[in-house]
Amino acid sequence: MTATRLLPSSEAHDLIAMTREVCNERLRPIVDEMEAKAEFPRDIFAFLGDQGLLTLPYPEDVGGGGQPYEVYLQALEEIASAWMSVAVGVSVHSLTCNPIFAFGSDEQKARLLPEMLDGSKLGAYCLSEPDAGSDVAAISTRARREGDDYVLTGVKAWISHAGHADFYTTFARTSDDGPRGLSCFHVPAGTPGMEFAPPERKMGLDCDTVGQVIFDDARIPADHLIGAEGQGMTIALSALDAGRLGIAAAATGLAQAALDQAVAYAKERKAFGKPISEFQGLAFLLAEMEAAVTSARASYLHAARLKDAGKAMSKEASVAKMICTDAAMRVTTDAVQVLGGYGYTKDYPVERYMREAKVTQIFEGTNQIQRLVISRHLLK
């Protein structure tokens, strides 16, 4: 069932209609096969870039789509309802562009942003480490200054697009001054000294290739520093609010896909001589699933509209990330239940949806961290 959307302009309606067409014609026909093969869909990202769907929230004068966040996120939700791995990749790429856009020099913007925003290059966001996930201040990867270069040493973990991206937005320590010792760098693919571990063997999102990025005296020019030395924590946190909204919207799209499958199955499957949808116990379960999806969509749109209005929305982004991803886990699990034994087989996609939903409660800040952020906003 197509979600009813309240959009701010006729242009936005056309964009969502185009996104649905792309999903129906290019994504849905191949998603099952590609996820089974666990192949990174680089050509799909190139196609989405050509369609202008990789960088929707950035201004047109720098090469973006010029769309408000409430429109971008609804397009992202549409993509997630068709192929969650790709939606996560679109959100990640948008995240990787933010540091240059928001903190880069005029020269860096002129040199780097065009290819980052026209879809011809795909980015990766290198923040987490084996021993530093939610605790960003614990990052140990170092960047030491040597003449006109920085030399990076350390290991980044859980990096989407590792080994496939064209550039890596990387956070490293330039001093031992705790959170004030972090800096941000633009690291092009092919930089000598940058290597990749084998991809992680995950329970879901098999086309979202994730792995370690290893820096072994990887040398980059000093003008690849984004912002100033020591500004890395500010840059990381400013981007993460937007990233959390991306995951919230993607999780909502995943939940919508699971609900659609459950409703369609309940109308067709018969027991005791009538469709199982006519049994009140199951009908009420479907109603609860719909309420969860609708509530999730409302929570991320509220945060997006605050962002578009230039208002503070860090708390609301955490609320949306928590609400939407918890809803995705619950709705996908219930969808498996509605389909019964068939839901537990790979003949239907709901088992994949359930596996994909779990990680949404973990990445872009675990939902326990979101509760911490929300409570601090309330109590400060």
3-class SS string, 24-84: HHHHCCCHHHHHHHCCCCHHHHHHHHHCCCCCCCCCHHHCCCCCCHHHHHHHHHHHHHHCH
Residue 112's contacts (CB-CB under 8 Å, 6 or more residues apart) are: 100, 104, 167, 186
Q: Are 359 and 205 in contact (CB under 8 A)?
A: yes
User: Does the active-site annotation cover 351?
Assistant: no
Residue 132 is classified by DSSP as B
Question: Which of 97, 117, 111 is closest to 53 using CA atoms?
Answer: 117
Question: Which of 114, 121, 120, 133 is closest to 171 using CA atoms?
Answer: 133
Instruction: Considering only the C-alpha atoms of the chain, give the largest distance between any 2 of them, rounded to a whole number of Å.
Output: 79
Of the residues 35, 78, 351, 364, only one is catalytic, namely 364
Contacts by 110-118, CB closer than 8 A, 24 or more apart: 112/167, 112/186, 113/62, 113/63, 114/62, 114/63, 115/166, 116/55, 116/63, 116/167, 117/54, 117/55, 117/58, 117/62, 117/63, 117/64, 118/49, 118/55, 118/63
Task: Give the integer Cα–Cα distance in Å for 272 and 274.
Answer: 6
Task: Give the integer Cα–Cα distance in Å for 129 and 175.
Answer: 17
Extended strands (E) in the chain:
123-126, 142-146, 149-160, 167-173, 182-188, 194-196, 210-221, 225-226, 270-271, 274-275
Looking up tokens 């994909």, which residue turns up? 356
For Cα atoms 287, 289, 291, give the angle at the middle one, nearest 5 degrees.
70
DSSP, residue by residue, 227-270: SSTT-HHHHHHHHHHHHHHHHHHHHHHHHHHHHHHHHHHHHH-E
Active site residues: 364
